[in-house]
């Protein structure tokens, strides 16, 4: 019984101790100016190859963004949290699942790209039971952009990643 009480006492002390691996932000910093890349603001996808204007499954548009959380500097990195609104319009969908490849480029004061981060936003399109079709859907997603603490991002440019054929189709 005595060992059991010692075990409980030891366990309670360990469970109440602070987590030393948890990083605390050093300070709040100014958030960088954020843009959507003009040439990568729209996206199209086709389940068929080769992709062409007649076989598109859906189109998506980077519609809006917001920085609702503080931008925080830690010892070795700075964190920017960006909420993104994406509008997806179904064209010829066979299922509700979509996967949207997004990039965020961190740019310094001299317009040099200092880092590029990639994200995959997964969502399901809304379905209208009356018409038995997928309908335009608003997707809200949050991305966390991390940048080195010694190279602060002055701008963040967000866009869709796409291959050359898809880019040619959009332009």
Summarize the confidence of residues 109-133 as an average pLDDT: 94
% pLDDT > 70, the chain: 86
Q: With beta carbons less than 8 A apart as the criterion, state whether 86 and 45 touch.
A: no
Angstrom distance (rounded) from CA 92 to CA 150: 47
Is 60 exceeded by the pLDDT of residue 8? no
Angstrom distance (rounded) from CA 140 to CA 63: 10
- What was the pLDDT predicted at 148? 81
**pLDDT tens profile 68-117:** 999 998 888 899 999 999 999 999 988 899 999 999 999 999 999 999 99
Mean pLDDT over all residues of the chain? 86
**pLDDT band at residue 145, thresholds of 50, 70 and 90?**
very high
Summarize the confidence of residues 6-27 as an average pLDDT: 55
Is 60 exceeded by the pLDDT of residue 5? no
Quote the pTM value: 0.81
How many CB atoms sit inside 10 A of residue 54's CB? 9
Is 90 exceeded by the pLDDT of residue 33? yes
Is 60 exceeded by the pLDDT of residue 2? no
Q: How many CA atoms lie within 13 A of 57 on its CB side?
A: 17
Q: Which residues of 11-20 are buried (b: 16+ CB within 10 A; e: fewer)?
A: eeeeeeeeee
Strands (E) located in 24-129: 27-29, 33-36, 42-45, 58-66, 71-73, 77-90, 97-107, 113-124, 126-128
Q: Is 132 left (phi over 0), alpha (psi -120 to 50) or beta?
A: left
Q: Which of 53, 140, 76, 152 is nearest to 112 (CA)?
A: 152
């Amino acid at each position: 019984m005595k060992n059991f009480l010692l075990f409980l006492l030891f366990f309670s002390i360990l469970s109440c101790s602070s987590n030393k691996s948890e990083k605390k932000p050093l300070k709040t910093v100014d958030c960088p100016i954020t843009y959507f890349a003009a040439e990568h603001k729209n996206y199209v996808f086709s389940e068929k190859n080769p992709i062409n204007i007649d076989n598109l499954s859906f189109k998506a548009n980077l519609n809006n963004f917001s920085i609702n959380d503080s931008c925080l500097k830690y010892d070795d990195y700075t964190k920017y949290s960006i909420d993104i609104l994406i509008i997806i319009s179904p064209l010829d969908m066979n299922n509700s699942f979509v996967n949207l490849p997004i990039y965020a480029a961190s740019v310094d004061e001299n317009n040099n790209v200092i880092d590029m981060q990639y994200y995959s936003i997964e969502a399901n399109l809304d379905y209208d039971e009356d018409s038995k079709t997928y309908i335009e859907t608003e997707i809200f997603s949050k991305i966390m952009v991390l940048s080195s603490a010694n190279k602060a991002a002055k701008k963040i440019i967000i866009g869709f990643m796409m291959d050359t054929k898809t880019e040619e189709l959009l332009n």
